[in-house]
Chain A
């Protein structure tokens, strides 16, 4: 299930990919919405520079994008075997990994090194005993709909020129207090709409994803943007959001783990595909080096981890290592704060003969009613500690 790919990490693999890849729209604007039951405060940044080479990010539909991407690998000499399920790793005795077992008859494949790039559910790295089952606190469950609309209508509704696109992240009412966000991404002739929340929250709040996505689409602020659209597809996917503290071992004798399989997602910034591409590239560089000596031991492959640590991948994951515990322990960010911001905005904007000084006092006292001074100070301090 796709969303955005990032120019910086893809161009490092396929230079000037935008000339040939099946992309949807270059993203020139990002909006963040804070919603209550019926109102919103929107924060946005738009820069046309993002809409010209080398670009910043693009929306993609993975069914199309992945077909192109795999062909790029094939052109470089990769042997691609589609419609084949990898079931397990093959070990030499009880030791090093020397290949994989597939679902085909006589489907054993041998290789000096295996790269587990099998996504969030990585049964491969689990079978290789690198980690136990993921905990429900460490993944988000996202559901999404692809909604078709005429190109011009998308441009008008979202104030876009030509093929340029935007993304909207939505905090507040629509997750009913669960830790998570909603999103609207513009594609060329479709819009991707959905929301993702921490899996343990779906369980504890007893909320069904198919109910909540309907509720979101019917929110008075969201609904007008989707009117007249036709649902084309309904999707569900897990996003590994456990962060730095949940990263499994990244290498073993004859094995490397990359991307979602290695928990490489920066949920706060909605980044993941870039971390996956960069980790894949660094795994490849490690393997090329290892080929020179013919040594694929864990010791030699540990270079992969070192390269990751030197890159933005581990640095960013480390920076935000306390962000999930923080968000889980501070649910008021998803409930009380959007309400406070919206109420204040309404009060300031409404012209009703009340003197501004009185309005100001009203806003302050209403804010303190929802969260006292100590609470506000504590939130600010712990946010600084979690995100610095």
Chain B
């Protein structure tokens, strides 16, 4: 099963306010490693026309992206507001 299908099994209550934000897009452009693209277990970070974009909707709220972006510290990471986000049925 591919990742999209797996994430489709998970239950989310999606907030309209994003809880993940790239602080400065210019920094991503000069970032050589761009480790967020391959380490995020939900693939929230993707390249679109050469630019790193984040989609917070499928986020599993693990915290990986915030910690691995240690060179530029360019990710603003919060939990979604109360009542929103990933709701594990099993855990």
Contacts and interface: CB of A to CB of B under 8 A. Distances in A.
Interface string B73-91: 1000011111100001111
Contact of B82 (A104, A121, A234): A104
Given A103-B82, A120-B63, A236 B42 contact: yes
A237 B82 contact: no
Given A139-B67, A209-B41, A233 B10 contact: yes
Interface residues of A, number: 43
A1 B88 contact: yes
A5 to B, nearest CB: 12
Contacts of A83: 82-83
A1 B42 CA distance: 15
B17 to A, nearest CB: 11
Contacts, number: 109
A233 B11 CA distance: 9
B90 A143 contact: no
Interface of A is mostly: mixed
B9 interface: yes
Contacts of A270: none
Contacts of B80: 85
B63 A121 contact: yes
B82 A190 contact: no
Given A235-B60, A238-B62, A133 B70 contact: yes
B7 interface: yes
Contact of B67 (A63, A103, A238): A238
Contacts of B9: 231-234
Interface stretch (B22-30, B32-40, B49-57): B32-40
Nearest to A134: B67
A35 B70 CA distance: 33
Interface stretch (A11-19, A200-208, A291-299): A200-208
Given A231-B9, A233-B88, A234-B7, A203 B82 contact: no
Nearest to A121: B63
Contacts of A238: 62-64, 67
Given A146-B90, A233-B88, A238-B63, A208 B39 contact: yes
27 contacts: A2-B91, A61-B91, A62-B88, A63-B89, A66-B91, A83-B82, A83-B83, A84-B82, A85-B80, A104-B82, A134-B67, A135-B67, A135-B70, A136-B68, A141-B41, A203-B39, A207-B38, A208-B39, A209-B41, A231-B6, A233-B9, A233-B10, A234-B60, A235-B10, A235-B60, A238-B63, A238-B67
The 4 closest A-B pairs by CB, nearest first: A62-B91, A236-B41, A83-B83, A234-B6
Interface of A: 1-2, 61-66, 83-85, 102-104, 120-121, 123, 133-136, 139, 141, 143, 145-146, 190, 199, 202-203, 206-210, 231-238
Interface of B: 1, 3, 6-7, 9-10, 33, 35, 38-39, 41-43, 60, 62-64, 66-68, 70, 73, 78-83, 88-91
Given A66-B91, A236-B42, 15 more contacts: A85-B82, A103-B81, A103-B82, A121-B66, A133-B70, A135-B67, A145-B6, A190-B90, A202-B64, A203-B33, A231-B1, A234-B6, A234-B9, A235-B60, A236-B60
